[in-house]
Every structure is written in structure tokens, then in C-alpha cells.
Amino acid sequence: MKLIYRKAVFAVCILLAFTACKTEDSKEVQPSKEDIVKESKKLNDFFQKQFQETLDRTPMYQSYLGIKKDADKWNDLSDDFFDKEIVYTKEALQWLKDSINVNALDEASKLSYDLFKQSMEQKVADDKYRLYTYPVNQMHGMQAEIPAFLINMHQIKNQKDAEDYIRRLEGIKPMFTQLVANLKKRQEAGIMIPKFVFAKVLDDSKNLIKGQPFDTSTTKSTLLNDFETKVNKLDIKEEDKKSLIAQAVKALKEDVLAGYTNLIETLEEQEKVASTDDGAWKFPNGAEFYNNALKRTTTTDLTAEEIHKIGLEEVARIHGEMKKIMEKVGFKGTLQEFFAFMKTDKQFYYADSDAGRKEYMDKAESIINTMKTRLDELFITKPKADLQVKAVEAFREKSAGKAFYQQPALDGSRPGTYYANMYDMASMPSYQMEALAYHEGIPGHHMQIAIAQELKDMPMFRKLGRYTAYVEGWGLYSEYIPKEMGFYSDPYSDFGRLAMELWRACRLVVDTGIHAKKWTREEGIKYYTDNTPNAESDAIKMVERHIVMPSQATAYKIGMLKILELREKAKKALGDAYDVRKFHDVMLTNGPLPLNVLEDLVDKYIASEK
């Protein structure tokens, strides 16, 4: 029996050894250039097909990209739609496994393969957290995003565009029926909008159904005003304009009013039972969800505790640099007293008037235009799309952030936009203007996002992808670059740069504090007001943003620190051969990337330059 067993084992060993040899031999067979071209094309054709199919299923995404194919429709918000999306994702992963020889891909396609595969695997893994969002919130909730979408994304260049706009107005009622169903499903699952959010989103919602044709006031409602303004610019017959406006009025009075009334009634009912618990810890498996969210946001394995510690260390370092500026301007007193001075001294604030708002916007535009003349010092690759500066629209300025960027249309029909919020002039000090414009405009988000969209020979999912740590890390890094170019010549403006960096460092502390350490909303606000020169209104908005967007705000500082670390690595390795323009090309000409992949590309850049 033992002899038979030994023979069997020997036979298996021989078989395994033969298989191993055969495998080693097969590895030595390198694919030909023709094979690599063929396999890479097959993969990239698949990516294009996947992108097009996703685009066909998401009409709003089409409009964001300036495509008018389904401009009369909204996205499907039903569970059935999202169930099918997971099926499509699993099918795509199976196709990759069965159909692609990874060893026969060129380098760029191999990177695309890895990024796509990782993204799809994460989408499947994260589907268990499908309900772990607040579709109605004060930052980017649908109650405000839908009208903002119509105003900013739905262009009316001809009669067909106007008719599509009307169809979308009619579609708000069924879409909001789906939205209400989603809110109720979350409530049943124990994922409820925090108490403080309701007043804000109800205010937004009620504002949208004020004015004509919803009441007898002399002012037009936000959407009617937008539609009429756009239609009246068309070169069509007056009777056609009147007909279109009449159709829009009917849709507003019937469909838009019904949709928003349904939403308002649901929110008012939910508000009665909402709690003041703010952190993700309150969710079912909340700690697990938040740790996963941190991984996705930062594209690192940093824990909540590690991120909290980094935040505390960065706050202390920046406070030290601020004290040096305090000495430079001759201020006598503590850092806290200096903060109070910066918060209250009128020299740092524009008037809370139309004239003051215009002065701010004119200055913001001047900052952007000046930086445009210096871009050759920093970049080899520059975007074709222009950048414009706009104030946040009145209907959403109360709940919107203080500044943000909107990407240009793919076809060049719409430029990139740096939005500044003029609602609360006390939260827009002059000493932060430079850093804010550099972050949201250039050399910040506009350079990164517009360049990515314009890249040639790259799959669309990479051009349009969003890794928050990369995107926001670049934005924060872009606040720092101008200092090396001689900007921030006014020490108060340099203080503003530090104040904005400090703000992002505090985010690490407060986000993890709220979602992992069970801080209250009030504790988070106090941390900001104790440690930054920002207005209390800023602190309130920021903490409320942390609450409805768990982990998102940790991306900025983690991303910036990584980019600075990689830049220092390249500088030390290359010495005199280091060129910041080439380093920035590595950063920007590969599309958005996880931070670990970005590091791999920097290592390859260093090796190639050596």
C-alpha cells in the first residue's frame, strides 16, 4: 500500500514538474509587436464600447459632456436600474478575464486594464453600501442639482433644445417619485438625513416653486426665468416662442409643482423623526462603511486614526508658519488674537453690496488672467478649453459651497468655470482670494480636468475618471505652486494661502472625529473656530459637509502631501536634470490616478530621465 502511495506521489510530482516547466517555457514566448497592437486595440475598443453603453444609459451625463442625444430625458433612479448596472459590471469583468491576454498589452493599455478592473471590482464590492448616501442634502442634493443642471447644462440653441427642456420639466414629477421612494427606502434601512439638513433642503425646494407661474407674484420663478431668457434669444418666430413658453408654464404648474410638492411633503414627514446623530457610525455597519470610504477617497490604506494624527501634526506645523507671518506684519498678541483680527478687520472684506460683489468678481477674474500669462513656466501641456469666472446663481448660493469648479464640455461648446459664492461676503476675505482662484481655476482644477478631457489615445473612462485624492490633492498643491513663482507677495495673502491649507489639515481631524470618534456637529464647529481664522459660517458649512459626505474632505491634504513627496523624490533623484514642467506632465497627462499608481509613474519618469 505504501509502495502504491509513493508511486502515486512520484507520478504527481513528475506531472507538476512537467507543468511547471511547460509554464516557464510559455512565459519565455514573447508576444510579437503585431500581437501587442492587436490585443491593445481589442481592449481599447472594449473600453470605448463600455463607455458608450454607459453614456447611453445616463442622459444627464450626456448633457454634462455637451452631448444632446437624449436631452429630453433624466437618469433612471430605480433599484432595477442599479441592479442591472451591477450585472453589466460583472459581465465586463468576466469579459476581461476570458478575452484579454494581459501579457500582450502595451504599457498604456496595461495600466488602463488595471485601472478599469480595479474600478469595476470596487463597484461590485461597494454595492452593499448603495443606500449609504443622502440623495437630498445641502451640498449637492437633487432638490438643487436638478434646476442647476437645467440652467447650466441644458443649452437652448434651437427649437428642438427648447422642446427637450420642456420634456425634462415634465419628467421632474416621475423622477422625484423615484427620489421619494429612495428616501423612504433609506429610512427603512436606518440611513436617515441628519436633522439639520431638512431646513436647508426644504428651503431650496420651496424656493423653486416660488414666483410665476406658481403664484401671483410679479417675479418669475427660477426655472421660468431661465427658460424664457434662453428661448427669447432664439432666432425663431414670436408665435413659436410664445407657444414654447406656454408649454413650459404648463409643465411647471403641473409636473414640476407636483414633483417638488411630493418631495417637500416627504421631507417634512421625515424631519419629525430625524435624529441629531451625525456620523457614519450611526449607520448599520457604519465603522466598516467609513473605513472603506476612506480607502476609496484617499486611494491609500491609511486608517481613520492615522489620518486623524496626520491632521493634528499638520495643524501644528501650519500654526508655526502663521506665527512667523504674524511677526512679519508686526502684530502683537497671540495667534488666536491674530485670527480674530483677520476675521473682523474691515480692510480684508468687500462690502456686502452689489458694488462689493462686483469688485470681488473683477479681482478674481484679474487673478486668473494674470496666472494665464505665466503658465509656460509650469507646464508643457496646456488645455485648449478656456476658463471663465462666475458668481454662484442666486437660487442656490445660500446652500452651495464658497467656491467650486465646473468642467468644460467635451466638444468645446462650454468653457471651464470657476464659481465664487457671493452670498456671504463675510466668508470671502480678500486675503484668501489668490489661493481660492488658483485651486479652483488655474493652475488647479482647470489644468487637471481640462487637460485630462483633451488627452488623445486614452480611454474615456480614464479621461473623465475622478480619484478625489488626485483631483483635490492637485488643487491644494496648486495653491502652493504660485508661492514659488513669486505670487502671494502680500504677507496677508500668504497668510490666506496658509489659512486655506490649515483648513484642509483641520478637515482630516474633523472628518475622522465625526465619523470615527463620534464627535458632535458642535464639537466639529468648535475645532474649526478654535484653530482657524475662518468665519463661523465657514466652519458650520464645512462640518455640515463632513456629515453628509463621509471621508470626502480627507482627500485634499492626503493627496497634496503625496504629490509634494513625489516631487521631492524626483528633485533628489534627478538633481540639475529635474524640470518641474516635466514633472507636471507626468502628473497631468495620464488622466486621474490612484496615488500608488501615480507614484509608479513618477518612478518610471525618474528612471527615464536618468
Q: Report the alpha-carbon angle 353-206-162, nearest 5.
A: 90
List Cβ neighbours of 163 (8 Å cut-off, separation of 6 or more): 72, 244, 247
Q: For residue 577, how far is the Cα from the chain centroid? A: 34
Contact between 278 and 450 (Cβ < 8 Å): no
**153-172 pLDDT tens trace:** 999 999 999 999 999 999 99
List Cβ neighbours of 475 (8 Å cut-off, separation of 6 or more): 439, 440, 444, 445, 448, 556
**278-317 pLDDT tens trace:** 999 999 999 999 999 999 999 999 999 999 999 999 999 9
Res. 400 pLDDT band, cuts 50 70 90: confident
Res. 74 pLDDT band, cuts 50 70 90: very high
Q: Read off φ and ψ for residue 284, nearest 5 degrees.
A: -60, 130
Among candidates 94, 274, 101, 253, which has minimal Cα distance to 187?
Answer: 274
**327-361 pLDDT tens trace:** 999 999 999 999 999 989 999 999 999 999 999 99
pLDDT at 65: 85
What is the mean pLDDT of the segment spanning 496-501? 96
Res. 12 pLDDT band, cuts 50 70 90: very low
14 against 275, higher pLDDT: 275
205 against 7, higher pLDDT: 205
Q: Read off φ and ψ for residue 323, nearest 5 degrees.
A: -65, -35
Rounded Cα distance, 437 and 455, in Å: 24
Res. 24 pLDDT band, cuts 50 70 90: very low
Rounded Cα distance, 122 and 129, in Å: 11
Rounded Cα distance, 495 and 475, in Å: 18
Among candidates 283, 254, 259, which has minimal Cα distance to 181?
Answer: 259
pLDDT at 427: 86
- CB atoms near residue 337 (< 10 Å): 12
572 against 18, higher pLDDT: 572
User: Would you call the peptide bond into 383 cis, given omega within 30 degrees of 0 as the criterion?
Assistant: no
What is the mean pLDDT of the segment spanning 50-76? 95
3-state secondary structure 139-196: CCCHHHHHHHHHHHCCCCCCHHHHHHHHHHHHHHHHHHHHHHHHHHHHHHCCCCCCHH
Q: Is it the case that residue 428 has pLDDT exceeding 80?
A: yes
Q: Is it the case that residue 7 has pLDDT exceeding 60?
A: no
Res. 468 pLDDT band, cuts 50 70 90: very high
Q: Is it the case that residue 565 has pLDDT exceeding 60?
A: yes
Q: Is it the case that residue 388 has pLDDT exceeding 50?
A: yes
User: Would you call the peptide bond into 550 cis, given omega within 30 degrees of 0 as the criterion?
Assistant: no
What is the reported pTM?
A: 0.86
pLDDT at 164: 98
Q: Is it the case that residue 19 has pLDDT exceeding 60?
A: no
- Cell numbers at residue 332, please? 502683537
What is the mean pLDDT of the segment spanning 92-111? 97
**504-558 pLDDT tens trace:** 999 999 999 999 999 999 999 999 999 998 888 889 989 999 999 999 999 999 9
Contact between 129 and 284 (Cβ < 8 Å): no
pLDDT at 113: 97
What is the mean pLDDT of the segment spanning 234-258? 98
What is the mean pLDDT of the segment spanning 392-418? 86
Average pLDDT across the chain, whole number: 93
Residues in the chain, total: 610
For the chain, how are helix, strand and coil distributed in percent, rounded to 5?
70, 5, 25
What is the mean pLDDT of the segment spanning 557-584? 97
22 against 156, higher pLDDT: 156
Res. 28 pLDDT band, cuts 50 70 90: low
Q: Is it the case that residue 102 has pLDDT exceeding 90?
A: yes
**129-147 pLDDT tens trace:** 999 999 999 998 999 999 9
Contact between 382 and 447 (Cβ < 8 Å): yes
